[in-house]
Amino acid sequence: MKNASKPQGCTNLKLRQLGRMVTRHYDHYMSEVGLKNTQYALLSHVVKLGPIRPGDLAKRMQMDASTLTRNLQPMAAQGWLRVGAGENARSRLVEATAAGHAIRAEGQRAWKAAQLALNERLGMECVLALHDLLDTCIASLDEETSDATTH
């Protein structure tokens, strides 16, 4: 017994609206340590994935390569990460500096507070269900993109 046979409204609209709300929520907390939500996400990925090529990082974050180039710039200017030479002359490697690790640790505390507050506001059940669903959707769209269905 379905809720409705056809989805009501626009998936994109709802995603973006909630996205704006949640992003504002996180940014409010992250601002205490001088980070944007996006910068914390990027820094965390760089810390975890070690020296990594921009293109690979962009793919992991489901982000356009040119967007990544742009997002790296303010963070490199802050000295939080470094975009060095890769194997080839045409590839590069991104890695976090000591300052980057430090601020990421600070950011993690702010992030935890933000996530806890959000869990509180939405209810744990809701957040768990949302995470599962978002993960499923991301995986679905991702596998089609990389076209790995055939082998």
Partner DNA sequence: CCTATTTAGTTGTATCTACAAAGGTTGCAG
Partner DNA sequence: CTGCAACCTTTGTAGATACAACTAAATAGG
Joined tokens for residue 56: 């690979």
From the list a second copy, DNA, none, partner contacted by residue 14 (C-beta under 5 to 8 A by kind): a second copy
Phi, then psi, of 92 in degrees rounded to 5? -130, 170
Measured CA to CA, the distance from residue 100 to residue 107 in angstroms comes to 10
Measured CA to CA, the distance from residue 77 to residue 93 in angstroms comes to 16
> Cβ 70 to a second copy, closest distance in Å?
14
From the list DNA, a second copy, none, partner contacted by residue 130 (C-beta under 5 to 8 A by kind): a second copy
> Cβ 25 to a second copy, closest distance in Å?
8
Comparison of 51 and 142: residue with beta carbon closer to a second copy: 142
Contacts to a second copy by CB under 8 A: 2-23, 25-26, 37-38, 41, 61-63, 111, 114-115, 118-119, 121-124, 126-138, 140-142, 144
Closest CA relative to residue 99, chosen from 73, 64, 75, 115: 75
